[in-house]
Amino acid sequence: MKTFNIPVFYKSPVISKVKEIRKITDPRKKDFSPTLLDFGPVRFYIARHFGFCYGVENAIEISYRAIEENPDKRIYLLSQMIHNQEVNNDLLERGAKFLMDTAGNQIIPFSELKKEDIVIIPAFGTTLAIEQELNKAGIEVRKYDTTCPFVERVWKKAEKLGEDNYTIIIHGKYKHEETRATFSRSETNAPSLIVKDIYEAQLLGNYILGTLSDAAFEATFKGRYSDNFKPGEHLARIGVINQTTMLATETQEIVDYLKGIMATKYAGEDIKLHFADTRDTLCYATNENQDATYGLLEKSADLAIVVGGYNSSNTSHLVELCEEKLPTYFISSAREIVSENTINHFNYAKQEHLSTHNYLPNKLPVDIILTSGASCPDSLIDAVLQKILSFYPDSRDIETVIEELKTKQ
């Protein structure tokens, strides 16, 4: 796989070494068990897979190259390049500016752009309408386009479904940049509809079977289907794609459910006439990170700490998985760990910031699960680990633990 030129300050003296050791011992990535770092009074279970993925490293390399190659030009990020505030803030400090926020609201009008300006397309991609606006301004859209290749793979799948006359069902968060970009392309290929979760898929299934009214369909899906969408006509032949960072098990549940609905409605007919046999369209990193989280949860631990951007979809799903088993703290960086008694963290479901006291149990050793989303630098995980270690002055030194890990593997 291609290697990328990533700024050295995103790497770390501990986590990067752990990853290298695991890469040597498990080159085929078949072992999803975590790495145990035993510091004595505190022990960390480190996920087998986490942190920067191919698409994120690609986006970071292109973004920093754009800044380096154009010192005398105005440089704009279309919106957040990835969903990690530390990375975005560093790009802003180097002179880049946002054209839009993550919801698509304009910060700087396109009319102010000049053809010599540089615009960086984020890893999520962007809509066809925004591309047209940039083209009108004379911007070379493809020059610094960081769209993840796995997102582009979903777009190609949508194109193929449209060619085969299937209506496209998108499992995704309809306000998310990636889903907006995918929908803008999918609706040019075929009638398209976005479902957020299995609950909405079930409402869609009820409509297909005739037990949900047109009014109820409209109330649920208004603003989330393509122009001239005719549910009574366009839901006779469907295929499912998804936002690449959604929970894999939920996507599969939606696929299985809708396939069952079509088999019921068209009993006796070839199911392929009504339901496309699409392969899962989550990216490899999302799958690996989620599988690695399941591997983490096979261990007995006192708490979990998940590090990442608070608007990161893939990170939020890791939090959901951990929350099902043990106390979980979703933090953006080590700064949220105020002391050994207090941690500030984020409730993704309620979109609120919380502060919890006595989060570290009064016992020894303390066992902590530690992981992050695909847009989180290893350096942030490293800082979290070292901040926790500072609360345990009798901990074994890091070099000894790493050397011990090398001999055990």
Length of the chain: 409
293 near 322, Cβ under 8 Å? Answer: yes
Joined together, the tokens standing for residue 389 give 């270690």
Contact 176, 127 (CB under 8 A): no
C-alpha 50/C-alpha 61 separation (Å) is: 19
Residue position matching structure tokens 């975590």: 34
Q: Is 233 a catalytic residue?
A: no
Q: At 300, list the tokens.
A: 């007995």
Annotated catalytic residue: which of 178, 187, 288, 320?
178
* Angstrom distance (rounded) from CA 325 to CA 319: 10
Rounded Cα distance between 376 and 332, Å, is 9
d(CA 32, CA 296): 8
CA distances from 261 to 231, 232, 280, 339 (A): 15, 15, 19, 52
- Closest to 118 in 3D by CA, of 151, 77, 152: 77
- Beta strands (DSSP E) in 243-302 are none
Find the helix or strand (DSSP H, E) in which 242 lies.
strand 238-242
18, 35 contact by CB (below 8 A): yes
Residues involved in catalysis: 178
